[in-house]
Structure 1
């Protein structure tokens, strides 16, 4: 997934489910601020992202991605378990050349998610 944003005005952080729900920006799992941030999702789980700028999360500039068993279920972030954070280490690096054999990682979902976050960042 690629997050595109003006680096002089914003950043993207990966947070725990509890911090996502409360918009707590302290102690992020991952901090990205170069304006062209790549995050590879290579396993199942819940991934929580928000703008790293104070006040943006409260304006819904946040994104929850759930990669599971192939069934997409849209849920209310308030119902997310507080201890449901990605396990360490966070995988972050180059895009793999060979596509994953898992149907869970379909490109349209990630493009939509990244486009939604980019749009919300640009509207502020």
Structure 2
């Protein structure tokens, strides 16, 4: 699993925040469109990795819960309390990844909107 901090750094390295989407000519628009497509590709890869990490965290906690439930020497009351604690811990561990996933989705939506705008510039120039 990759740390959420690493994902944030990868996203920050793309310099999406505050990026100006403006082009005077078709050549500038083509360059900008290529840059947007590369950003989109990187963000798609980050999204896939984040989703895999979330699945792995869930699987890890599912295994812990199954192990707990298979213990026949532990009281039912203790198992229920421990299961609740594991679920809360799982949600706390997943939350930063879900926040990254939401951020990536938002950036992807913005990039796709910008691509439409840039494509219109290119088509108008032709």
TM-score with structure 2 length normalisation?
A: 0.26
TM-score with structure 1 length normalisation?
A: 0.26
Structure with greater strand share of residues:
1
- Greater C-alpha radius of gyration: 2
